[in-house]
Amino acid sequence: MSTLNISLPEPMQNWVESQISSGHYADYSDYILNLIRRDQQQNLLVEHLIEGENSGESDKTIDDIWVKIKAAKTH
C-alpha cells in the first residue's frame, strides 16, 4: 500500500478527528478509504442508471420485476 499526504483546512481536520474519536473510523486512513469506496459506489450506480436509461423502455410490469427479485433472493 502506498502513502498519500494531504492538507486539510482546520475545520475539515477537526471533522475527521471527531469522526475518529466517536469510533466511526479507526484513523485518518480508514476515513479516507471509506470516502473513496463510497465515491466508487456512487459512480458505479450512476453508470448503471445511465445504462438502464439508455436501454429503452421495458415491457415488464413492476410485479414481474418484483417476482424476479424475490426469486433471486431465494436462490
16-53 residues labelled b (16+ CB within 10 A) or e (exposed):
beeeeeeeebeeeeebeeeeeeeeeeeeeeeeeeeeee
Q: Is the pLDDT of residue 75 over 90?
A: no
pTM of the model: 0.69
Is residue 3 one of the residues assigned to a domain?
no
- Which of 74 and 16 is assigned the larger pLDDT? 16
Is residue 25 one of the residues assigned to a domain?
yes
Our CA angle for 14, 43, 67, nearest 5°, is 120
Is residue 1 one of the residues assigned to a domain?
no
Q: Is the pLDDT of residue 74 over 90?
A: no
Q: Is the pLDDT of residue 63 over 90?
A: yes
Is residue 23 one of the residues assigned to a domain?
yes
Domain that holds residue 43: 10-74
Number of domains present in the structure of the chain: 1
Is residue 4 one of the residues assigned to a domain?
no
Is residue 64 one of the residues assigned to a domain?
yes
In the structure, what pLDDT confidence band is assigned to residue 73 with cuts at 50, 70 and 90? confident
Task: Express as a percent the part of the chain with pLDDT over 70.
Answer: 100
Task: Express as a percent the part of the chain with pLDDT over 90.
Answer: 89
Is residue 2 one of the residues assigned to a domain?
no
